[in-house]
Amino acid sequence: MKDLNNKVVVITGAGSGIGRSLATACAKRGAHLALCDVNTTALEQTRSECGQARVLTATVDVSDRSAVEAFRDEVVNTYGRVDLVVNNAGVAHSQTIENTTYEDFEWIMGINFWGVVHGTKAFLPELKKHKGSALVNVSSVFGLISVPTQGTYNATKFAVRGFTEALRHETADSGLHVMCVHPGGIKTGIAHAARFYVGPDGNNDQSKVAGDFVNKLARTTPDQAARKILDDLAKGKGRCLIGIDAQVISAISRLIPVNYWRVMGRLMPG
């Protein structure tokens, strides 16, 4: 999808980070926006940064299927069509699998995986009505490799990757373009809003773990990430790797598919 002018773009998790940057970038390219987030205040801030673009906003918990479907109905009733959907909403969690509660498993799966499923299933029939439409699901570099204390997050992001790649094969001849995004470290608030209990080095100071993540691993800004997503979408790519770190991690996972942690462990905050 090269031209966003007058296209209807749906973005989940648009209240901050990559979602907000995508919204403002699409607005500058002439798109009509349908934005949702669980944080109403943050969502309204995003709306204010979209200039003169036409913007529909809704407070939506993407883990709630009926809420996502109601949002879909509002988008279609408002604009009459959907051209691009970006399932971006996500949260983070850091704890060993042994010590993770079932409630935390359900919380992160509900948002990171089921949120993508809900967004995809709700909007897919609308997207398939128009050739040249696109669906973008945001995974992570942690959908390429697994990291100690990130088992729940890894599970959700590997699931998003598998789900999206299967859908890409299924829709190959439909005129719908499907892309999976794997950001490396992005300077967003996801780490500070996460459920952090322990870091890869065993540290259980939540503020320190989150700070280490942002300071040592986050090398790319949300605006840079948004530009890369839209550029790769325009090129028709099926996989979008964001940041040098994502490219390195992807290469390491292919070269050392079993023992990559021997290398990656040295790159993590310590």
With tokens 């949300």, the residue in question is 222
- Taking the C-alpha atoms of residue 257 and residue 51, their distance in angstroms, rounded to an integer, is 46
Q: What is the DSSP letter of 238?
A: S
Q: Specify the pairing of strand 239-242 against strand 177-183.
A: parallel
Q: How far is CA 3 from CA 30, 87, 138, 197, 225, in A?
A: 9, 20, 21, 43, 18
Axis crossing angle, helix 17-28 with helix 40-48, rounded to the nearest 10: 30
**Catalytic-labelled residue, pool 79, 153, 197, 260:** 153
153 is catalytic: yes
Query: Helix, strand, coil % (nearest 5) of the chain?
Result: 45, 15, 40
Enzyme catalytic residues: 153
